[in-house]
């Protein structure tokens, strides 16, 4: 075996169709486009979603709702999670950097603390927003709340 008798695997290659190269090719004349009409001509382009004159899907289906461009989306973390994180890492202050290092927060996300779960440790918590229940829980445990 040498380079002179190498061949591609059977079925891995195929011939390109030579369209519009005379009657002898079997693909001459209309070049596989049929007879006349817009689809047979060069430059033909059908509008996206066109269904042959039938009312298109994007016009049949009802529209509703809207997207509020002023919406502010927060990543929510409960005080119970802060409790377990502070116990695990022996922390007294929790801010965005601590949560990012723990893998609980994306560096671009805004942080909101919610009041679900038990909190017994005295913590200083820094976040973009707090729920009323979270503020009560943190202050009841002797901690402080700092809004960024």
Q: What is the average per-residue pLDDT within 78-98? A: 89
Q: How confident is the model at residue 92 (pLDDT cuts 50, 70, 90)?
A: confident
Tokens of 129: 């927003």
Question: What pLDDT is attached to residue 127?
Answer: 93
Ordered by where they begin, the domains of the chain are 74-147 (3.100.10.10)
Copy the structure tokens of residue 119.
Answer: 């909190």
Q: Tell if the pTM clears 0.75, that is, is over it.
A: no
Q: Which two tokens stand for residue 99?
A: 């949560």
Give per-residue burial for 109-148: e unless 16+ CB within 10 Å, then b. eebbbbbeeebebebebbbeebbeebbebbeeeebebeee
- pLDDT at 89 > cutoff 90: no
pLDDT for 60 equals 94
Which CA distances in Å does 112 have to 106, 117, 124, 146? 13, 15, 14, 12
Confidence check: pLDDT of 136 > 80: yes
Strands in 129-130's sheet, in edge-to-edge order, are: 74-78, 110-114, 129-130
Place of tokens 């119970």: 80
- Looking at residue 49, what is its pLDDT? 92
């Amino acid at each position: 075996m040498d380079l002179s008798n190498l061949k591609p695997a059977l079925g891995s290659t195929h011939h390109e169709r030579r369209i519009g190269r005379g009657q002898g090719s079997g693909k001459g004349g209309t070049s596989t486009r049929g007879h006349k009409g817009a689809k047979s001509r060069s430059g033909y382009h059908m509008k996206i979603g066109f269904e042959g004159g039938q009312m298109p899907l994007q016009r049949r289906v009802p529209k509703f709702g809207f997207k509020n461009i002023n919406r502010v989306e927060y990543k929510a973390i409960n005080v119970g999670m802060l409790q377990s994180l502070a116990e695990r890492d022996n922390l007294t202050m929790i801010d965005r950097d601590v949560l990012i290092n723990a893998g609980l927060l994306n560096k671009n996300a805004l942080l909101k603390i919610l009041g679900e779960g038990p909190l017994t440790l005295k913590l200083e918590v820094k976040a973009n927003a707090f729920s009323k229940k979270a503020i009560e829980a943190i202050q009841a445990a002797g901690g402080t709340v700092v809004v960024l």
